[in-house]
Chains A and B, each alone.
Chain A
Amino acid sequence: MSSTFDTVAGIISDTADIPREKITPESHAIDDLGIDSLAFLDIAFAVDKAFGIKLPLEKWTQEVNEGKVPAEEYFVIKNLVARIDSLVAAKGA
């Protein structure tokens, strides 16, 4: 898996106090790892700082709550990593 995954997994492990080996690309942040909304904001802060981006959490949450996008699209770690990569690429474009 990518270095982005390693960085994100490390952030989640440190921030939410989850053993690193429990975090896989297929893990669902909420259903599998038990990360709540407050912890996710902590993770977003660390991700924002580490990658120099702004995770659009409010937009994602709204889309999920309105049923437009399944939660897995944002909260399964491999999908989250892909979105971070996209945001980083867009920043450099």
Chain B
Amino acid sequence: MRLEYFEMIDRVEEIDVSAGTIRTISTVPDASPVFEGHFPDHPLVPGVLLTETMAQASGYLVLAMRDFAEMPFLMAVDRARFRTFVGPGAELLVEARLSHEGSGYVATRASVSVEGKRIADAELRFRTMPFPDGLDGRMREQARRIGLDLVVA
């Protein structure tokens, strides 16, 4: 993870586009400017960044399922829970599942676990829209960076 660059997903471990599920891995860095403020001498990953991590895993799932035809933009976060603290060095298993495919939007349920223990979960919704100019290419690059192209059948 590069928290300050919002690169939250390190690699895709598994994706099943027909089932609408994805599993990704992220390792919290040992040091980050984020930890200077959150909190001084007590580094914890902010809940908003755990939410963003779940949103990005969900987003890559939607991109793969729709073969990069549209861009999902986070529009709603429901029932978010942050069940315990996450600090530097933790390896996060981030899972997401498509829960509803609407017209112009999709909904997912996502979670973050560390060593088998649920850390956070939320219900997320995304507006799906045409890519702004040039963003589709950049998103494909990001997807390759995390190995999405290698695991999509």
Contacts and interface: CB of A to CB of B under 8 A. Distances in A.
Interface string A52-85: 0011111101000000000000000000000000
Given A38-B75, A38-B127, A44 B103 contact: yes
B127 A41 contact: yes
A32 interface: no
A55 B125 CA distance: 16
A26 interface: no
B76 to A, nearest CB: 7
A41 B103 CA distance: 9
Contacts of A59: 103
Interface residues of A, number: 14
Contact of A58 (B76, B104, B107, B125): B104
A44 B102 contact: yes
Given A38-B75, A41-B75, A42-B76, A58 B103 contact: yes
Interface in A12-54: 38, 41-42, 44-45, 48-49, 54
A45 B127 CA distance: 11
B100 A45 contact: yes
Interface string B123-136: 00101000000000
Contact of A54 (B76, B102, B127): B102
A44 B127 CA distance: 12
Contacts of A55: 102-103
B68 interface: no
6 contacts: A38-B127, A45-B76, A45-B100, A48-B102, A54-B101, A54-B102
The 3 closest A-B pairs by CB, nearest first: A57-B103, A58-B103, A58-B104
